[in-house]
Amino acid sequence: GIDSRYNEGCRELANYLLFGLYNQNNNDFERTGFPEEVLDDIIILIKPDSVHLYCNPVNYNQLLPYVAHWRNLHFHCLTENE
């Protein structure tokens, strides 16, 4: 989320897991036209045997190319109405 993004440790971990997607100077997000808090609205739950990714329909399309290859990945995505 927006609070974690500005925490150095959280930002480094997110960039490690998502290949630099959340760099402070990433202009790809700015071009989408969506507010930063919508794009940053993700939760990654790492368990010993699986990874659960909670996101919204906006950032789902941004995240998918970075995580589609993860094994035992479970997406939890809100609908457009939610």
Total tally of structural domains belonging to the chain: 1
Q: Which residue has the higher pLDDT, 31 or 73?
A: 73
Q: Which residue has the higher pLDDT, 70 or 7?
A: 70
Give per-residue pLDDT as tens, 24-72.
Answer: 555 555 565 555 555 567 888 999 999 999 988 888 888 888 899 999 9
Q: Is 2 contained in some domain?
A: no
Q: Is 59 contained in some domain?
A: yes
Q: Is 3 contained in some domain?
A: no
Determine the Cα–Cα distance for residues 30 and 39; give it in Å rounded to an integer: 10
Q: Which domain holds residue 56?
A: 8-77
Q: Is 65 contained in some domain?
A: yes
pTM of the entire predicted model: 0.69
Determine the Cα–Cα distance for residues 56 and 20; give it in Å rounded to an integer: 20
